Amino acid sequence: MTTGFFDGIAPVRYEGPDSTNELAYKHYNPDEVILGKRMEDHLRFAVAWWHSFAWEGGDPFGGQTFIRPWHPQDDMGRAKLKADVAFELFEILGQPFYCWHDADIRPEQADFAGNLKTLEEITDYMGEKAEGTGTGCLWGTANMFSHRRWMSGASTNPDPEVFAWAAATVKGCMDATHKLGGQNYVLWGGREGYETLLNTDLNQELDHMGRFLNMVVDYKHKIGFKGTILVEPKPQEPSKHQYDYDAATCIGFLRKYGLENEVKLNLEQGHAILAGHSFEHEIAVAAAEGMLGSIDMNRNDYQSGWDTDQFPNNVPEVALAYYHILKAGGLGTGGTNFDAKLRRQSLDAVDLVAGHVGGMDICARGLKAAAAMIEDGGLEDALKARYAGWETPEAQAMLGSDLATIQARVLSEGIKPEPRSGRQERLENYVNRFV
Ligand code: XLS
Ligand code: NI
Ligand code: NI
């Protein structure tokens, strides 16, 4: 028996680029082999429970626009109905992964014990529903930013009782993720930052956050969780300044607290843009350190300047992101999570399906273009040519040398560099052939 929410909507199939069927995949063909691996295994799509099922359509100027059968979300029976609908969407889309916060899946209770009990109950239910379906948990996380208790931070809160509640909450969410066979555990610190330095001891807060993350890693090993611990950079929103500002900041933080071999990054397109970077910049920075973990695929509205979390629709951007992911050897235990929500006017069940179908197709097109660029090798060749001078023994020796020796060599050899073209337009034209 189904909930009826998606009545009249059939499972989405691959029909190829010429299909005019709105609800068919034109590019996402799970079994197609790209660079020796099935497309599905490259992309590892996940549906985000918070945006696709829990979000009610509110914005800063108005409340709920969606009226769903599982509203209001304050009751365990309706939480189960929401899970039923979620698994129906997963079946329609072809059984992707899913991601969740505790607050998305269970109703908020009056105390911690109640929150833990309902989390255990709903995740048992989700585990049963997933059995035999091929759908799995990509990652779980704790929502430590919505409830008023988190307003001054979670692990960085000046109040140790909030730190305690955060530790207790994360333990529960890690246990639930482990039980569901989750492949990663994510921490995004929306309130781990400050509103004003006038009331903030930045140093103490960072130390607490570093200690907290070490406890998370210790607990992972204690319970034998084999997944990856991920932190998700974002520069601001909701906090004015967030400590996990961008990939480079997170990497510095992880090194400072001895976590560089234990924690990787979950990078989000929209957060990269908010930080003043491109998505591929963030991916390349993480990959250079071996810390690329997973991606939250969405897009921001470039005019509005905030985290609009829209489904991706820009093939050239997505292609460059996957180009750097492929170059880094892929996403490992990570995946492509749609941290993307409908627009608040997109009321229909079919809108929810179409949002995911479109996002998956855009990513598939990007992946295919990225793979074609890798196979063609044009960008790699250009890169090699640009740095070819460094392959000479004299250039290599210089790296082990010192300033005085190098100065003597410049004088004796009369070294006088001749600037060469960076060829940017030609390279952009090259990329354009593939996207
Ligand atoms: C918010 C974040 C959030 C994380 C999970 O901007 O993207 O959704 O992915 O807490
Ligand atoms: Ni986000
Ligand atoms: Ni995210």
Average pLDDT in the 132-149 region?
A: 98
Domains and CATH numbers, the chain: 33-376 (3.20.20.150), 380-432 (no CATH)
pLDDT confidence tier of residue 288, bands split at 50, 70 and 90: very high
Whether 99 and 48 have beta carbons less than 8 Å apart is answered as yes
| Nearest-angstrom CA–CA distance, 204 and 70 | 42
The ligand placed nearest to the CA atom of residue 309 is: 2
Rg (CA), the chain: 24
Q: What percent of the chain has pLDDT over 90?
A: 99
How open is the CA angle 293-298-303, to the nearest 5 degrees? 130
DSSP letter assigned to residue 363:
H
- What digits encode the pLDDT tens for the residues 18-46? 999 999 999 999 999 999 999 999 999 99
Average pLDDT on 198-215 reads 98
Which protein residue has the closest C-alpha to ligand 1 atom 10? 188
Please check the confidence at residue 1 and state whether its pLDDT lies above 90. no
- 408: pLDDT strictly greater than 90: yes
Other CB atoms within 10 A of residue 164 CB: 12
**Both structure tokens of 64:** 């709920």
Task: Name the band, by pLDDT with cuts 50, 70 and 90, for residue 105.
Answer: very high
Give the residue from 105, 107, 108, 112 showing the smallest Cα distance to 126.
105
pLDDT surpasses 90 at 65: yes
Q: Which ligand approaches the C-alpha of residue 51 most closely?
A: 1
Residue 354: its pLDDT value, please? 98
- pLDDT confidence bin for 146, thresholds 50/70/90: very high
The pLDDT value recorded for residue 335 is 98
Distance 351 CA to ligand 2 centre (A): 21
Helix H segments across 131-230?
A: 160-179, 202-223
Nearest to 234 by CA among 270, 281, 197, 286: 270
Confidence class for position 304, pLDDT limits 50, 70, 90: confident
Q: What is the pLDDT of residue 302?
A: 87
Per annotation, catalytic residue among 102, 104, 307, 309: 104
Protein residue closest via CA to atom 3 of ligand 1: 188
In the residue annotation, 27 being an active-site residue is answered as no
Residue 344 scores a pLDDT above 90: yes
pLDDT at 283 over 90: yes
Q: Compute the distance from residue 317 Cα to the ligand 2 centre, in Å.
A: 17
Q: Tell me the ligand closest to 242's alpha carbon.
A: 1
CA of 286 to the centre of ligand 2 (A): 18
From 191, 234, 294, the mutation candidate for ligand 1 (largest count of ligand atoms within 8 A of CB) is 234
How large is the average pLDDT for residues 214-241? 98
pLDDT 10s digits, 168-203: 999 999 999 999 999 999 999 999 999 999 999 999
Pocket test for ligand 1, best of 231, 232, 246, 295 (most atoms within 8 A of CB): 232
State the average pLDDT for the chain: 98
With a CB cutoff of 8 Å and minimum separation 6, the contacts of 331 are 42, 44, 292, 293, 294, 295, 325
Q: Name beta bridge partners: 295.
A: 267, 336
221 is catalytic: no
Identify the residues whose C-beta falls under 6 Å from ligand 1: 101, 141, 186, 188, 232, 234, 268, 296, 307, 339
- Which are the contacts of 295, defined by CB distance < 8 A and separation ≥ 6? 266, 267, 268, 269, 283, 321, 325, 331, 334, 335, 336, 337
pLDDT over threshold 90, residue 305: no
Of the pLDDT bands very low, low, confident and very high (cuts 50, 70, 90), residue 322 is very high
